[in-house]
Every structure is written in C-alpha cells, then in structure tokens.
Structure 1
C-alpha cells in the first residue's frame, strides 16, 4: 500500500478493481464507508462479478476476466486525449518531459530490443537519452516527439472507448463514467484511491496491470497525497505488518534487502541501493 488503511477515508473517489474488500477485508472496508459518509466519496467497483463490494457501491461496471489492462489503458487514453491530467504534478513528479533514446520503437506489438530466438528483450533502447552532463535530456514543453508524454499518447491512442467496449464487454457509457470520475481528481484538492487484491496480482500479466493503474494515478496526481495511492488489499495483521515492521527474515522495512557478506559498513550497503538522480 502506498497509503494506509485509515487514509482511505480522505478519498473523493474510490475504485475497487481486482478485489472484493467488503467481503474479504471487512475491517479495512469501514474506511471506504467513512469516505462515503463524511467525504461524499464516489465509490466504484469494476469486476467480472457483481460481488458484495459492488452491492454497496455507488457505481458498478462489468468487464471480462483478464481484460483489465485494456480497461485501464482506455482510462489512460481518455486522460491524455482529453487533456484531463494534473499538469503541475506530472511536470514536477513524473518523467513526462524525459526524452527517450532515438532507437526505441514499438511496432506491431513488439518493443525494440526483442530477440526472437531467445524470446527476451534487451531493454537498453528503452532508456532515457542523456546529455553531456550525464543527466536526462528533457523537454518542458512536452512537444519533443520522443518525450514520454508524446510516446504515451501514441502508444495508448488505440485504447478508445469503443475498443474497451469490444474487448472488455463493458458498456461504453459505464467505462466513460469511470474515466470521467478519475479525470475529476486531476486537480488540486481532490484524490482517488485504487484498491486491489489477488484479482490483479495473480494474473500472468499482474505486474503490467499494476503498472497501468499506477500510471492512471500518476496522470491524475494521486500518488503521494492524502486519499490517493495504489493500495493492495493485504492481510490486516500478517503480510502488511510483517513487511512494514521488519519481521520478514529476508528483508528490512521498506523492502530493503539484507546486507551481503562484502557490505561491512553503511556506506557500502547504501551505495549499491541508491539510484543516481536523473535530473
């Protein structure tokens, strides 16, 4: 969870997708009811089943199992094509203005660097373009054809509401309602939270689903704010507490790995785990 359970009460929009908190996490779900009662939050459920969470939601949209990436990609396209993004946030806290290497490409569903024999990717072409100072080249105007903003618009342009309806089976008007509610939070003072569970993480494409949802939240400025975040519906007192309090034998709080045999002081330990600033 990027935010904690209690913080959900601060949300203006709540989406449960890939989970069923009302039934599986009833103690934590009370904070959704708090958001509805005291913050007038709009609560939505997107799920193949009309489950117990959907039964108490303000809005329910069905989708076909396994089509989550298309649904979320449709929201990304809606936000970008209608310019309903949090401009101040994406300029200051995301890589929107970063310029990608000129040998990067995406053709017929395949990214550059693909080795057909090994069926693996060489991801070096996906890196940012560096300037002479060693930092990433940027375009604050977002007009450069290879800045992340322009590449995202191009990549998600095909994820239209009609495509979402065709692939996901979600009625167009229901999809647009979800997209519009997220767009309503792309302003200062409003926030949306996404709550998910194993309905996302246990897909073979689980990591990609979560990345898409995280991009939706970043476009709206909903990461790092009260009432926002990407919030996994985990065990109340076991998995979440185990990792947060450092009780897991293989990692430290913050999911830091344990020091290796050659890391005998703090500087050696932290140097290998600290990323270099990009700008």
Structure 2
C-alpha cells in the first residue's frame, strides 16, 4: 500500500497539538482513524482548548468535540472561504507574521484579473490549450519564464500552483506595501476574492446556519 499510494505524513509533531488553544478537525474521523494522534487533541481539550469537528457525519470524533458542524459533503471550500473572509474582515490574523513571512504585501501586475472580473476565470486562460498563461499573475518587478527556458509560459492549474516558473529578477525586486493597503497587493486581492463568502452564502452552499458558522469563526 505504501509503495502504491504513499504514506501519510504530518507537517509537525502531533504531540504539539496538546499546546493548542483551538483544534479544527475537518473531514476526518480522527478519534477512530487516528487514535494515537487523537490522544494529543484530547490532551489539549483537557487543558482548556476548544475542539471543533466539521464533518457530514456524527462520529466518535463529533461526540468528543465541543462543537460539531454538520456540513454538506463536497462543500468544504465554501466553508473555509467563509472562515478566510471572517478572519480578514475582523482582523483576526497575526499581522506581523502576515507582513513579514507571507507574500501578502507584494504587489502584483496590473494585468491580473480575478474570477469576479472574468466570469469565473482568472486572467490568462487559453481555451484552446486548456491552461493558463501565467504572465499576468506575477509580482510587479519580476518576469517569469517557463521551467524549460524561454518557451511559452503556459501552465495548467497544477503546474502554476507548483511554481514551475522561476523569477528572472533578483530576489527582493518585488514591489511591496507593508501597510497591506495597496489595491494590487496580494492581501487586498485575497480580500476581494473571498468577500463573496458571507455567512449567508456559507449557509446556502454548506447548509450551516449563520449562528453556528459564526460560533466557529
């Protein structure tokens, strides 16, 4: 099985869950499927953490959680979009970290257009090739060529997310706005993109009542 499908791996030590203030388990019956790791979630709860389970089914994990959020199968992205919107709108993010350790303050090219501007597509869509020309997605002050050299920078969605293009400008050449107020900085683009995911939209798509959604947020 491991050879064919790979082995699950965590991005940090599961023991560190015990130090959490809040744990959200989404789409997993952790209590039954990962009982060894779940012990650390229960240790966090014993120390006062809030345990939230987002899952269509009520399972043993739900029974042990402080809050169970029944969600329509396949609607997780809309739920998470609502969480992102709430965090941004209510300034619940760690600003120092966002400014210094993410791409949020970097300004992107003026040619970039989001889905609300192009009827569900991002700028650069090439219908004939079934992929995106990612030139308009770049940070202002940098240019990107394909990983193969000076070939046409066409990438499908997976390739673009994997970062197969490499910047030709020197590191640090990007234009930034540490105040996060520039309308073309990544933070503001993100804010506009997720503005649609209101509690009402989350309810319509996910079937989660606004009061329960806001309790989680």
- In which range does the TM-score fall when normalised by the shorter chain? 0.7 to 0.9
Structure-2 residue corresponding to 1:138: 176
Is residue 41 from structure 1 mapped to residue 49 from structure 2 by the alignment? yes
Quote the offset at 1:17 in angstroms. 0.2
Residues 18-167 of structure 1 mapped to structure 2, 5 A cutoff: 18-37=27-46, 39-106=47-114, 107-130=118-141, 135-167=173-205
Structure-2 residue corresponding to 1:170: 208
Any unmatched runs of 5+ in structure 1? 180-279
Give the aligned CA root-mean-square deviation in angstroms: 1.4
Does the residue aligned with 1:112 lie in a helix, a strand or coil?
Answer: coil
What is the aligned residue count? Answer: 178
Quote the offset at 1:173 in angstroms. 0.9
Deviations 1:186-211 (A, max 9, x none): xxxxxxxxxxxxxxxxxxxxxxxxxx
Does the residue aligned with 2:68 lie in a helix, a strand or coil?
Answer: strand
State the structure with bigger RCO (CA 8 A, min sep 6), 1 or 2.
Answer: 1
Structure-2 residue corresponding to 1:9: 18
Quote the offset at 1:118 in angstroms. 2.1
Structure-1 residue corresponding to 2:163: none
Deviations 1:219-276 (A, max 9, x none): xxxxxxxxxxxxxxxxxxxxxxxxxxxxxxxxxxxxxxxxxxxxxxxxxxxxxxxxxx
Quote the offset at 1:19 in angstroms. 0.9
Does the residue aligned with 1:110 lie in a helix, a strand or coil?
Answer: coil
Does the residue aligned with 2:71 lie in a helix, a strand or coil?
Answer: coil
Does the residue aligned with 2:23 lie in a helix, a strand or coil?
Answer: strand
TM-score (norm 1): 0.62
Distance of 1:61 and 1:52 partners within structure 2: 14
Any unmatched runs of 5+ in structure 2? 1-9, 143-168
